[in-house]
Chain A
Amino acid sequence: MARMTMIEAIRDAMDVMMARDERVVVFGEDVGYFGGVFRCTAGLQQKYGKTRCFDAPISEAGIVGTAIGMATYGLHPCIEIQFADYMYPAYDQIVSEAARLRYRSNGEFTCPLVIRMPTGGGIFGGQTHSQSPEALFTHVAGLKTVVPSNPYDAKGLLIAAIEDPDPVIFLEPKRLYNGPFDGHHDRPVTPWSKHDLSEVPNGHFSLPLGKASIVRDGAAVTVLAYGTMVYVAQAAAAEAGIDAEIIDLRTLIPLDMETIAASVRKTGRCVVVHEATLTSGFGAELAALVQEACFFHLEAPVARVTGWDTPYPHAQEWDYFPGPARVGRALVETMEA
């Protein structure tokens, strides 16, 4: 075991896989010589050479398009889109190509590809460095979508994603790169070294895609969260004094409905939290699934706490961000309903 930040854990996962499997290649904007704007690929080019880890032109469609070609050839590319907000030029390649190759060719051509993207706000990134586009991927048949919330999960899930035979969207909450963040932006940053889940196994280890984690056992209400919101939910429950059961979904597709349904049947209440905008967000899917599976156990309507349906603002970042106060209010209201 070793103490790592999320950045180090992500880098370690790629390092382990590049050492084990020559088919793994890593590329993207500023990814090669410099090691990425968030430093996630630092040192990989020096270690594995510039045909295994290299800089790409500023063309997301080109990065994803060439990576798809490489994956169909038999490589396992693990590519970086510098910010999830820059993904849109590649969306056609992701939706119409990567996601459908296996299906439309009846398995002749497959696409073992990981697309890493920093996601979410909380860094004063404005509308073009803060978005959470996960619902744009979960809506697409043929993709898997992963959102880790800590170094341990990040390494285990990224290795599983690289080993997966299908395309995986790997969304890295950038506000968590250097420490857990519970939404109290006015308090000093907690480093990962103080957190249990910064203890990461050495070498190869993977976590299954499709298995959620219960980060806090509770009896009163189930909170469904992922990424940064896992910590916001914990702070909210503690501050509101509510015995919430908090589930970190870890992967959105495939979704661990068993863990979700068992928890909601136990608590009878459910609050869904995400940073992305409300309408047609992944929370809508979760709310629908929970009422389908647990309707007769529900004591209160399923509540959603999310970003507002506006572009992500700059100056008003903390008015937009669904912080512990808003989540806490929803918990109280759900308990009183």
Chain B
Amino acid sequence: MTDYGPLTLHVPEPAVRPGGTPDFSNVRIPKAGAVPRPEIDVDPETIRDLAFSIIRVLNRAGEAVGPWAGLLSDEELVEGMRNMMTLRTFDARMLIAQRQGKTSFYMQHLGEEAISCAFRKALLPGDMNFPTYRQAGLLIAGGYSMVDMMCQVYSNSRDPLKGRQLPVMYSSKEHGFFTISGNLATQYVQAVGWAMASAIRNDTKIAAAWIGDGSTAESDFHAALVFASTYKAPVILNIVNNQWAISTFQGIARGGAGTFAARGLGFGIPSLRVDGNDYLAVYAVAKWAAERARRNLGPTLVEYVTYRVGAHSTSDDPSAYRPKTESDAWPLGDPIIRLKNHLILRGAWSEERHKQAEAEILDTVIAAQKEAESYGTLHAGAKPSAREMFDGVYAEMPPHLRRQRQQAGV
């Protein structure tokens, strides 16, 4: 006989479900400017608390405050503003295009624009991102052609990827944007390998790995941290915590850990949390991590705390699993509105300029869309040939594929 009672299984639940009142009281938000900015060669053991706080620069009044502020000029901030607005407009147009049947699928960034747009500005030519499907700001902010992006979304005759990939799974080596897999977490460890290669060759390039909160549960994430830690790879390990993995709240992947950033601590990797809706904070932390990598100090893990305002994809309906008003209650606000307020406060922007910029950007995006659609959409107009389906499986087509192409009659 023992006095052990029956065991019970713990299954975490989000604070609120549809019909409930949104509640983010569990998200502790420190004051802007409150988190110190360590030297880049800091002993990771001495900054463990940064994995549990949130680095913020913009305060509620729209001022840039604290040790992480002061890195960007008016011009750079205005450019960041325009990039975020462009990404949001691009998304809006592509969502409509998907609803109109011009493509099969789309994924938007609503609420998360600051992360990829600001991060891109911390990198140098030759660096390589290994992105997920919600970092198209890396391309927009890097000046990649929107027409090419749309041609990819439409899988049309000018699709740089010849219609072989799901919409938004872009690839551009020239723009430091690795071909997106669509399988989750696989590329996190590849980024570490790419960075190791740069170090093996005594090069100066660095890599950036990207993953969402949900996919940190994949074993590839943990393998990536082991290799990055062991070989001190020049890589920035980014986790975008947008609270939701399709319908699954972040607590299912996070488990008992306080934060996702805390995952890095056991590996001895400096691990920081940052306000993902604060363009200035994202840039400052990305720059800090990039500087560490470039100075051969090894990897940095960064958790961007943000909120996925839209659906996971065009195939998803969030009202089935979270309160409709939850995004309004999100305590870190909207990245575009926050930067707008800051720029106005600096005297570098105005309501009028904002409206004007919105109109200009819309015109530019619509013009790009018109051009892209002139090359076809998924179900209408010109598209990649069926013959091309057999190309590029190998550098040289082996005999069995030649026979199959013949059989296909293309």
Contact = CB atoms under 8 A, between A and B. Distances in A.
Contact of A106 (B130, B161, B207): B161
B393 A141 contact: yes
B123 interface: no
A93 B161 CA distance: 21
Interface string B195-215: 111111100000100000000
B178 interface: yes
A109 B191 CA distance: 13
A94 to B, nearest CB: 10
A334 interface: no
Contact of B189 (A69, A96, A103, A210): A69
B145 interface: no
A59 to B, nearest CB: 5
A10 to B, nearest CB: 22
B190 A66 contact: yes
A306 B152 CA distance: 46
Interface stretch (B104-112, B218-226, B341-349): B218-226
A75 B201 contact: yes
Interface string B125-155: 0001010000000000000000000000000
A65 B223 CA distance: 9
B179 A104 contact: yes
A110 B171 CA distance: 12
Contacts of A75: 197, 200-201
B227 A62 contact: yes
A147 to B, nearest CB: 16
Contacts of B223: 57, 59, 61-62, 65
Nearest to B228: A66
B27 to A, nearest CB: 32
Contacts of A56: 227
Q: Of residues B190, B194, B220, B223, which shows the largest number of chain A Cβ atoms within 10 Å of its Cβ?
A: B190
Q: Of residues A75, A106, A144, A257, which shows the largest number of chain B Cβ atoms within 10 Å of its Cβ?
A: A106
Interface stretch (B2-10, B57-65, B162-170, B255-263): B162-170
Given A101-B179, A103-B392, A106-B164, A89 B219 contact: yes
A65 B189 contact: yes
A97 B186 contact: yes
Nearest to A103: B392
A69 B161 contact: no
Contact of B207 (A69, A103, A108, A142): A69
A254 interface: yes
B194 A104 contact: no
A255 interface: yes
Interface in A66-92: 66-70, 72-75, 89, 92
A102 B226 contact: no
A108 B173 contact: yes
Contacts of B162: 106
Contacts of B392: 102-103, 106-107
Q: Of residues B173, B220, B394, which shows the largest number of chain A Cβ atoms within 10 Å of its Cβ?
A: B394
B181 A96 contact: yes
Given A103-B392, A104-B169, A61 B190 contact: no
A127 interface: no
Nearest to B230: A57
Interface stretch (B240-248, B354-362, B395-403): B395-403
A67 B393 CA distance: 19
Contact of A61 (B169, B197, B198, B219): B219
B190 A92 contact: no
A70 B186 contact: no
B193 A67 contact: yes
A168 B158 CA distance: 31
A66 B193 CA distance: 4
Nearest to A70: B197
B160 interface: yes
A73 B197 contact: yes
B399 A257 contact: yes
A280 interface: no
A109 B170 CA distance: 12
A73 B230 CA distance: 20
B118 interface: no
Contacts of A107: 392
6 contacts: A65-B189, A65-B193, A72-B194, A97-B186, A106-B161, A141-B393
Interface of A: 25, 51-52, 56-57, 59, 61-62, 65-70, 72-75, 89, 92-93, 96-97, 101-110, 141-142, 144, 164-166, 210, 253-255, 257
- 10 A-B pairs with least C-beta separation: A69-B193, A66-B193, A65-B189, A62-B223, A105-B179, A73-B197, A69-B190, A69-B194, A254-B398, A70-B197
Interface of B: 128, 130, 160-162, 164-165, 169, 171-173, 178-179, 181, 183, 186-201, 207, 219-220, 223-224, 226-227, 230, 392-395, 398-400
Given A73-B194, A253-B400, 14 more contacts: A56-B227, A57-B223, A62-B224, A65-B186, A65-B193, A69-B191, A69-B193, A72-B194, A75-B200, A75-B201, A92-B183, A101-B179, A108-B171, A254-B398
